[in-house]
Structure 1
Amino acid sequence: MSAALLFAELSNASVTDRIIAVVNSELIMLSELKAEVATEERRLQETYRGAELQRRLRQVEYMGLTRMIERKLQLQTAKTKGVEVADDEVQRAALELKRQGEKVDESNPDDKKNIKEQLLLMRVVDREVRSGVMVTESEIQRYYESHQTRFLIPDEYRISQILILRKPRETTEDARERAASVYSNLKQGADFAELALKHSDGPEATKGGNIGFVRQGELLPQIERALSTLDLGQVTEPIETSDGWHIIKLDEKRLPQFRPFAEVKTEIQTLVFQQKTEDVYQTWLGDLKNKAFIEVKF
């Protein structure tokens, strides 16, 4: 059968159902595949046309069939290993999904079946894969040493600010002049905290303009550029943004540093566990496929 003819069959809602795969003693039907990929196909049909649409639909169908075969194998393994899920567990999972905003009909047999299968899949993977994955101290240390940039803390600045906002019935030029006047006083040696308390419209004015520590990348680009040229204790000229005019003082600067190993150890352990679990899972899944009878008629 040609690819074009097969695509026409798959796109025809009234097509006669047929077997498209055999997984050990179980069948996968064309109607099941169409249900599996229906949402993805609708999304593609809204975006693509012609040959590109057909190519992408074909790809989605193959990926969907692969998922279904892998799911069958895992559910068969769960049955062979005696992994079970009780009805009350399905009920609790359905309620939790609804609480999270998912559309679940607890009286719909298909919804209940799907939830039960998901619980079975999680349980069999927990038993056959995750339970055997261990992360050693040396693996954690090795990951930390080979991924140092992941744990780099960028430059940190402790800054203070005087923010000048345009007041009602005040022109933009009037506000700019007020900011320039404050800056002129600072250049003549006036105390920053006192001027902030007296003139700043920012929420930190009552603290003498003290904002505290901010990291590189957290400030507006024009403020970061001006800040990068300052030495400790210096102030920027008034910087205009959509908020108003900012006069920034650099109170302290921390150079880039790496987060200590002890601080990130648990985080790394989780990352390494996830990586090892995925590797073991793929090996386990490959072994299931190698030992199974799989015939694709698609």
Structure 2
Amino acid sequence: MRLQYLFPLTFSVAVLFAADVTTIEEIVAKVNGDIVTRTELLRSRAQLEAQLRQQKMTGAQLEQTLKEREGQMLRDRIDQLLLVQKAKDLNINVEAEVSKQLAEIQKRLNIADTEKFQQAVRDNLGTPFEDYKNEMRNSLLTDRVIRQEIQVNVPRADVEKYYNEHKAEFVRDERIFLGEIFLSTEGKDAAAVAQIEKKAKDLAARAKKGEKFPELARDNSDSQTAQSGGDLGGFKKGELNPVIEKMLWDKERNYVTDPIKQANGFLILKVMEKHQAGQASLDEVESEIQNRLFSARFQPKIREYLTKLREEAFLEIKPGFVDAGAATGKDTKWNDPAQLKPETVTKQEVANRARMKRLLFAIPIPGTSTRPNAEAMASSSKVVKK
């Protein structure tokens, strides 16, 4: 199965975290009605370490980066909880999207039986299926809240200004950007290979007619790039396989190949973008500049929004832990229930309290009559008669 292709990072985390058999369910933060545990922070650290190791980071550099990022882990977890809670306040429902994504993953894994798919998740990721599903749900909820609540505008005038001030950054070598769909034939018999080839031809035809290539890749490709819509990135002349380079280098944007037979499958390639050598025009780089300016403006906006959510929230942080996104002046003092002293009273105090309750019951409430209500009496007598 190719579940590790779909979740390479999560799979690595499961292996790393499984090695630590000590379970520490210590609460380190309270966020409205939710909590953050030390175990969750350890898991976040394992995820980060797995990601850094995948980037070939080791030794002192790895430890230094982990140390620098550990201070943000509690902040990030609180961020997520606040956004998920806000999604509930806004009545945002993503169940249809969760079901769709799970169905797409199950389809890509070619597992028809739902129970077997759920078992594959448990076996490969080392986590209960419901936990994995819940993480997917939370991710979708946070994305929806951010899109709905945080608006960032990048006017055309700002794009033009940035382009004119950074023209040197847009002098480029000739480069081609490719997308791929790969259908594996590994371990298949002749009949199955024939069916896969037929599917590859159908996908190539659909791509040539204009169907969105990233969606075709996400839904059908067996490559690790499927999650990113088949994106292979950009290549300069000489960086591609010579056969592929000769086939594609002179082609224009949106060109799609017929299925290319490989030793272990069929490959479909598309020219996603084509950059000519020299100074790129504003039209060619407008989207890139939009993304740069959006990112620069988005981060302050989202931190401002999350600070506002913190100001409105009930938050307690355990001593020894720091919320790097804390709102200035917000009281997050920790109250440990284990440290609360039990109240003790004497028998005489209990008797006095009971007497006081009787006295209070006898005192009329201002604005009300002390005389019995006729309707109430009648109602009462009916009850008694029954």
| TM score, norm. by length of structure 1 | 0.51
The answer (yes or no) to whether the contact 2:45–2:66 under 8 Å persists in 1 is no
Partner of residue 181, structure 1: none
In the alignment, structure 1 segments of 5+ residues that lack a partner are 1-10, 156-216, 221-255
The answer (yes or no) to whether the contact 1:151–1:259 under 8 Å persists in 2 is yes
Partner of residue 163, structure 2: 144
Question: Distance in 2 between the 1:93 and 1:293 partners?
Answer: 33
Partner of residue 148, structure 2: 127
1:265 aligns with 2:274: no
1:77 aligns with 2:96: no
The answer (yes or no) to whether the contact 2:29–2:37 under 8 Å persists in 1 is yes
Shift of 1:65: 1.9
Q: Could you tell me which amino acid in structure 2 is paired with residue 37 of structure 1? A: R
Shift of 1:148: 0.7
Shift of 1:27: 1.2
Partner of residue 25, structure 2: 17
Shift of 1:80: 1.4
Partner of residue 94, structure 1: 102
With a CA cutoff of 8 Å and minimum separation of 6, indicate the structure with the bigger relative contact order.
Answer: 1
The answer (yes or no) to whether the contact 1:98–1:104 under 8 Å persists in 2 is no
Change (3 A) 1:62 1:146: same
- Deviation readout 1:90-139 (Å, 9 max, x if unpaired): 121123445677x746981111111111111111111011xx22221211
Q: Secondary structure at the match of 2:94?
A: coil
1:282-297 equivalences in 2 (<5 Å): 282-297=303-318
Q: Secondary structure at the match of 1:75?
A: helix
Give the aligned CA root-mean-square deviation in angstroms.
Answer: 3.9
| TM score, norm. by length of structure 2 | 0.40
Change (3 A) 1:146 1:58: closer
1:276 aligns with 2:290: no
Q: 1:38 aligns with which of 25, 40, 46?
A: 46
Q: Secondary structure at the match of 2:30?
A: strand
Change (3 A) 1:100 1:289: farther
Change (3 A) 1:275 1:56: closer
Partner of residue 175, structure 1: none
Change (3 A) 1:128 1:104: farther
Alignment: residue pair count: 187
Partner of residue 110, structure 1: 131
Shift of 1:283: 2.1
Question: Distance in 2 between the 1:267 and 1:296 partners?
Answer: 40
Shift of 1:83: 1.6
Q: Could you tell me which amino acid in structure 2 is paired with residue 22 of structure 1? A: K
Change (3 A) 1:261 1:21: same
The answer (yes or no) to whether the contact 1:22–1:296 under 8 Å persists in 2 is yes
Change (3 A) 1:42 1:271: closer
In the alignment, structure 2 segments of 5+ residues that lack a partner are 1-18, 110-119, 175-235, 240-276, 322-386
Question: Distance in 2 between the 1:152 and 1:69 partners?
Answer: 42
1:26 aligns with 2:34: yes
Q: Could you tell me which amino acid in structure 1 is paired with residue 25 of structure 2? A: D
